[in-house]
């Protein structure tokens, strides 16, 4: 009995932020009734997008975690992978679909499997801007000149940002992130 109560309390504590945010949102909707409908419908829309993308990503990550040995990933994306690593990182990120938050849990598993920090940062950058389906769509809406120019400068920017981050995040912090990713090998669970 006591165990259940403790567990419930712990769960409530973990969910404190979303509960507070939801309460804030409800208050906002009561205070500004003219925006209530729009707020509710955008919440529903965002939840739908999330449900379409996030649960399957996590399940696929479970498979990756179980099936792909660390050595394999090290060879492809590890610190000694040479030019292969960034190229694979670009390809993985660019083949993706869905919002950027889908990339974070993947990055955590890649970290655990030994991909280098720079390659992970390139993967995040590619996911954010050089997705192939999105690029094709962009050319339709904004024209080839605009989209190609943006793609070209983004390729440079992604690598530049990855290197700037690699230089400005201390090695100790990177080691801490890797240790954290590794220690949670029973799930990609995060506390805070």
Partner 1 sequence: MDALVFYIVAIALFAISFAKDRKKTRQAFLKGLKALEGILPQFVTVLILIAATLALLNANAIGRFLGADTGPVGVAIAAALGAITLIPGFVAFPLAGELLRHGAGVLQIATFVSSLMMVGVVTLPMEIAYFGKRTAILRNAFAFAFSILAAFFVAWAVSL
Around 80, how many Cα atoms within 13 Å sit in the side-chain half-sphere? 4
Q: Is 135 exposed, middle or buried (0-12, 13-18, 19+ CB in 10 A)?
A: middle
Task: Rule CB under 8 A: say whether 89 interacts with partner 1.
Answer: no
**What's the min distance (Å) between Cβ of 150 and partner 1?**
5
Site for partner 1 in 42-81 (CB under 8 A): 42-43, 46-47, 49-50, 52-63, 65-67
Element (H, E) at 36: helix 33-67
Rounded-to-integer distance, Cα 96 and Cα 30, Å: 39
**With binding defined as CB under 8 A, does residue 165 bind partner 1?**
yes
Contacts of 109 (CB under 8 A, 6+ apart): 61, 64, 65, 181, 188
Q: Is residue 183 involved in binding partner 1 (CB under 8 A)?
A: no
Choose between 74 and 184: whose C-beta lies nearer to partner 1: 184
Nearer to partner 1, 17 or 84 (CB): 17
**Which member of 137, 175, 179, 182 binds partner 1 (CB under 8 A)?**
137
Nearer to partner 1, 49 or 72 (CB): 49
């Amino acid at each position: 009995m006591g165990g259940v109560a403790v567990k419930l309390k712990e769960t409530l504590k973990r969910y404190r932020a979303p509960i507070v945010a939801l309460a804030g949102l409800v208050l906002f909707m009561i205070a500004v009734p003219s925006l209530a409908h729009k707020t509710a419908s955008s919440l529903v829309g965002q939840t739908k997008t999330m449900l379409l993308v996030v649960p399957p990503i996590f399940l696929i990550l479970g498979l990756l975690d179980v099936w792909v040995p660390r050595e394999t990933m090290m060879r492809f994306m590890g610190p000694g992978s040479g030019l292969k690593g960034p190229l694979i990182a670009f390809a993985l990120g660019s083949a993706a679909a869905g919002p950027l938050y889908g990339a974070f849990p993947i990055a955590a598993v890649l970290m655990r499997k030994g991909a280098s920090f720079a390659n992970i940062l390139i993967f995040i950058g590619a996911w954010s801007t050089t997705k192939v389906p999105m690029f094709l769509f962009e050319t339709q809406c904004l024209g080839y000149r605009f989209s190609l120019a943006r793609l070209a400068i983004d390729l440079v920017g992604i690598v530049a940002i990855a290197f700037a981050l690699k230089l400005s995040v201390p090695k100790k912090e990177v080691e801490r992130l890797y240790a954290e990713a590794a220690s949670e090998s029973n799930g990609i669970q995060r506390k805070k």
